[in-house]
Amino acid sequence: MVWYEEEVQRVEKERSTLNYEPDTIFYGSSSFTLWAGLYQDFAELKPVNLGFGGSTLAACVWFFERIMATVNAPSRIVLYAGDNDLGDGRHPTEVLLFYRQLISLIRERFGNIPCFFVSIKPSLQRWEIIDSIRAANELIREEVANDPHQHYVDIFPLMVNYQGYPRKSLFEADGLHLSADGYAIWKKAISENIYAVIGGLQKIS
């Protein structure tokens, strides 16, 4: 995990750049790290971007306590990871196990705050492992369904064309990282899921 050190040190300082107490944590891989407009897109939710480049779910587990020491009492956490685990050759079942470990750490530190898992995206660069991506997504979807405090943000169908192939316009030239159009889709999907939960809580109270 030593190759993440520089990125983790950068993330540890991210909280200090904010003039508010973060309410929404974004945690995961470079799909969050490279989201240039994240703070503007989710301004009302008082976000902090704790994503670190190249991270796997395994790395998110490994560095969790260290990185989360920078925040106190968030209302929710948005997760995106697993993409790089599969790209490194891990089996979908391993991805599920690391996801379970991450949720366990979240529960120990923050209690039953809502957790929003953004499904692993279909990408042009990793099309050869699309079956593994689908399998990992389905395993995590089933896991999420067993916990009312977990929520599955399914961006997969929003990123493919009518033939089921990734839409090129949603990616940068590398075929892996998101373009501005890709982030616009993610913003809408994540926002709708979060506000559905917030609205539900408000109705209950």
The residues near 36 (Cβ < 8 Å, ≥ 6 apart) are none
Say whether 7 sits in a helix, a strand or coil: helix
Per-residue pLDDT in tens (0 to 9) along the chain, 205 residues: 766 888 889 998 998 899 999 999 999 999 999 999 999 999 999 999 999 988 899 999 999 999 999 899 999 999 999 999 999 999 999 999 999 999 999 999 999 999 999 999 999 999 999 999 999 999 999 999 999 999 999 999 999 999 999 999 999 999 889 999 999 999 999 999 999 998 854 433 2
Determine contact, residues 24/75, Cβ cutoff 8 Å: yes
Q: What domains sit in the chain, N to C, each tagged with a CATH number?
A: 2-204 (3.40.50.1110)
